[in-house]
Structure 1
């Protein structure tokens, strides 16, 4: 059963500016070394759960303590304190923390975007179809809002003139507005989008996954239909102490990502032990999460482009400037 409390924590966290959490530190003991791995209750954590539970890091550490964060405020505290060493993060959060002087690096990108427009109107297929409409939006002036606004701008649509936004605090609130019929369209991340469609169907409502904002990003950049939404952040202390573990971890991300995409039902069963959403919802969400495992240094130009576009309207979202070149591992 998806309660309001669990739904809120499982959908808002990953796209919040400080949206990650847990409290287990990295432990380096000669007799029993362990790695604390932190992840959000969505998307890439399905891969992290597989890595932790199937022993993909057994050559580097005897134990992986994987924990799913609940609080949107814990990420910064964990890394500022030095207790956290390896965690999933929205990519812009890592840039922001690095620009504030924290010794963190971006290891990789694990999703090429998981934001969608849901609608009752089956004829809505493109941004142009939202002209004259009101759309539910969460996290004003944060990444989801900035991505959607830039896509609409690229399609010749201006907020306040060609369409309007109904701002709410969380994805859960946006979905509640949609399910209640107070709005016809809203922007949601995964797995909120999938969970919302499942819930709508149970209520006898037909809700469509109308627009994939990752695909629409191609109109903004002239490149591929994707944006580097989130990945893994590593603290320099762990990187310097065990560089071979970090290399091994990235390779495990590659292996784990391919397995999860090929085996969504089995992956969901494993992940549901850590992510407290029903396994069927997790499984249905996986194909829409655009999972990947790309080294940050290999897509540095794409990350910098994404950061620059976000900063056009809100420079503070990345800490006012692009990170230094050594930020990208």
Structure 2
């Protein structure tokens, strides 16, 4: 969107800014240092339910979490029973989704033993543990999963295997709530009432997402230009594997409410205790 000038008629300056984790994003939003942001789907719901009138504009990411293992026999999440899994998420949506999935599998009798979760500081810590042989399996968000596999291949002294993605396991476990709206674009509270601009942003993002999915190589080169620490090849793989499909939040409301309702049973704090009001679903 920055490269194409899609918002030039509506803003004097459009700037890309990278945040490192959801806690940092919360601070940036609270200080109103950013107008729009990509965000895990629970964060804007949490903020709205706490009285901050943010708005979710769309959902574009429906499958971004992958299981990577040193063991070729670990292909699914059920194969992890009794084994250790590196988890670089704390109090974030991926942790909520993972716990919800593993709990449901145990209750259904699909897993005889609990998965031993080993927390890491962040994804880079999990990658280091895997590459040094100190970790057996990890749950990673893209493009981190593809980056780990790419680095292992270049290192040449170990084999790592891509297992099931969480969306696939979720669809098997919760067939009546099969779609998993994981991330999208939100408008900060000082922008939420600007419906016309929100519509322009949502439409421009949808066009950009379609272009990116159809031109994975060029999109990966663009990502590398803005985030040089991400090599082109694993980013291209991540784009090709990720279900990138932009829908307005209003269109995705049934899937969002199904997810919010499910995770609220065990993690009500992750969405602020209840479903967001109708005006939350933008643009």
- TM-score strictly above 0.5: yes
Q: Does 1:133 align with 2:86?
A: no
Q: Does 1:115 align with 2:68?
A: no
Task: Map residues 173-212 of structure 1 onto 2, 5 A cutoff.
Answer: 173-204=125-156, 205-212=158-165
Q: Number of paired residues?
A: 278
Task: Map residues 170-319 of structure 1 onto 2, 5 A cutoff.
Answer: 170-204=122-156, 205-223=158-176, 225-240=178-193, 242-276=194-228, 277-319=230-272
Change (3 A) 1:253 1:100: same
Change (3 A) 1:76 1:300: same
Kept after mapping to 2: 8 A contact 1:60/1:244:
no
Aligned to 2:25: 75
Q: TM-score, normalised by structure 2?
A: 0.89
Kept after mapping to 2: 8 A contact 1:52/1:66:
yes
Q: Which moved more, 1:65-74 or 1:317-326?
A: 65-74
Query: What is the distance in 2 between the residues matched to 1:83 and 1:175?
Result: 31
Change (3 A) 1:243 1:291: same
Gaps of 5+ in 1: 1-50
Gaps of 5+ in 2: none
Query: What is the distance in 2 between the residues matched to 1:231 and 1:265?
Result: 22
Q: TM-score, normalised by structure 1?
A: 0.77
Query: What is the distance in 2 between the residues matched to 1:182 and 1:74?
Result: 29
Q: Does 1:165 align with 2:117?
A: yes
Q: CA RMSD in A?
A: 2.2
Instruction: Report deviation, 1:245.
Output: 2.3
> Residues 295-319 of structure 1: CA distance to partner in whole angstroms, max 9, x if unpaired?
1111212112212222222221112
Query: What is the distance in 1 between the residues matched to 2:152 and 2:49?
Result: 42
- RCO (CA 8 Å, sep 6+): is it higher in 1 or 2? 2
